[in-house]
Amino acid sequence: MKIVLVVAAHPDDEVLGCAGTIAKHVASGDKVHVLFMTDGISSRHVANHKVVERERQNSAQKAAAILGTTSIQILNFPDNKMDSVPLLDITQVIEEIILKIQPEIIFTHHVGDLNVDHQITSKAVMTACRPQPNFCVKEIYSFEILSSTEWQISGYLPFTPNVFIDISDYINVKKMALKAYEDEMHNPPHSRSIENSLRLSSIRGNEVGIDFAEAFTLIRRIEK
C-alpha cells in the first residue's frame, strides 16, 4: 500500500487533473488524500457565498466518494489571490500535512499554468518537498488543467508530459466524478467541459497507443 497526496488549488482541479489516476491508485489498495488550498469560490461575485461554498464542498465530497479517496481537506487561502500570501506561510501548512500523512507520492499543478493559484500551489509543494534525508516523498508529478494549462502564453513554461497513466478501465469513473462538479463545467465548445476533459484523456491515451490516459510531468522520482 502506498500513500498518495493530491495537492490542488481548487475543488474540481483534482478531477480535471487526475481523477482516473486517483481511482486507479484506490483500486490498487493505495490511500489517496486530497488537499485543496482554497474554496474555489470566494473570489466570485455571487449573491450568497455561504450557499455556493457549501455546494462546492458537497461536490468535492461527492467526487471523493466516487473516486474512493481516503480524505479531503479544504484550506482557506484566498481564492485566485494566493500570490497575496507569503509563500512561506503556504509552504509551512503543506509541510505540516505532509508530516502528518507521510505520502510517498504527490500530484500537484504544473507551475506554468495561467491561473496564479495553480502556480503558487506548485511552488509551495516543491518548497515543502525540498530534498532532505529520510523524507517520505519519493515521487512528485504535475498535472494539466483544462482552461488554465493550455491558456498560458505560448512558449512560457509549457506543459510537456513524460508520464502517461493508462486510465482506460477508469474513464467512466472519471466521467462520474466530473459530473459531481457539474456546476463548474461548461458546455462545449468551452475548454472546460466534461466532453473536452474526456476527449483530452482520449488524446493523451492515443498519443501512446492506448484508449485513455492522464498525462503528467515527472518532477522527481527517487528509487533505491
Question: Per-residue confidence at 176, pLDDT binned at 50, 70, 90?
Answer: very high
* The model's pTM: 0.96
Q: How far is it, in rounded angstroms, from Cα 187 to Cα 198?
A: 13
d(CA 112, CA 120): 10
Categorize the per-residue pLDDT at 224 as very low, low, confident or very high, splitting at 50, 70 and 90.
Answer: confident
CA angle 160, 140, 152 (to 5 degrees): 35
Give me the helix-helix angle, 171-180 and 194-207, nearest 10°.
Answer: 150
Q: 117: pLDDT confidence band, cut at 50, 70 and 90?
A: very high
Whole-number pLDDT of residue 70 = 98
**CATH among 3.40.710.10, 3.40.50.10320, 3.90.1300.10, 3.40.190.10 for 3-221:** 3.40.50.10320
Distance between CA atoms of 26 and 168, rounded to whole angstroms?
A: 15
Domain locations in the chain as residue ranges: 3-221
Degrees, nearest 5: CA angle 31-131-12: 40
Count, residues in the chain: 224
Q: Please write the tens of the pLDDT for every residue from 129-163.
A: 999 999 999 999 999 999 999 999 999 999 999 99
